[in-house]
Amino acid sequence: MSKYETLTNYIVKINNDGSYKRPLQMPFIIYTETINSFVDDVNNFIDIHKEMELTSYGDILNENELKWDYNSMAGANIKLLDEQCIIALIVAAIRADRFSSGTLLRFFEEGIILKWLE
């Protein structure tokens, strides 16, 4: 048995189920209306409050010595952060969900979004 055989066995499966004729259905999260409205309102907030420069949320996190990953963001000591950084955390959580569906759900389920809002 090849070192990679357990992985390369998927070649046939993917070819049978991942072709353009039979594409694989990737899982995705369907959020509630409340969460969708929250995301819309955050995006509107970004547009209205350009002075906060929230489109540069990554830079804001870096300036506050936070990484754009779940553990760093969820573990951030919000007592040491200003309003701009806290909202940047929310923006980063929403943006992270684009790359990894379900990330935003985890922030909600574990009470992190609520903690940031409070």
**Do the beta carbons of residue 55 and residue 46 sit within 8 Å?**
yes
pLDDT of 51 reads: 97
Q: In 3D, which of 40, 29, 30 has the Cα closest to residue 91?
A: 40
Q: Residues 66-81: pLDDT tens digits?
A: 999 999 999 999 999 9
Domain boundaries, the chain: 29-117
Contacts 24+ apart (CB under 8 A), 27-35: 27/101, 28/101, 29/97, 29/101, 29/102, 29/104, 29/105, 31/104, 31/105, 35/104, 35/105, 35/108
Q: Which two tokens stand for residue 96?
A: 């992270």
Looking at residue 66, the DSSP 8-state letter turns out to be -
Q: Residues 16-57: pLDDT tens digits?
A: 665 666 666 667 789 999 999 999 999 999 999 999 999 999
**pTM reported for the whole predicted model:** 0.79
Residues 6+ apart with CB under 8 A from 28: 101
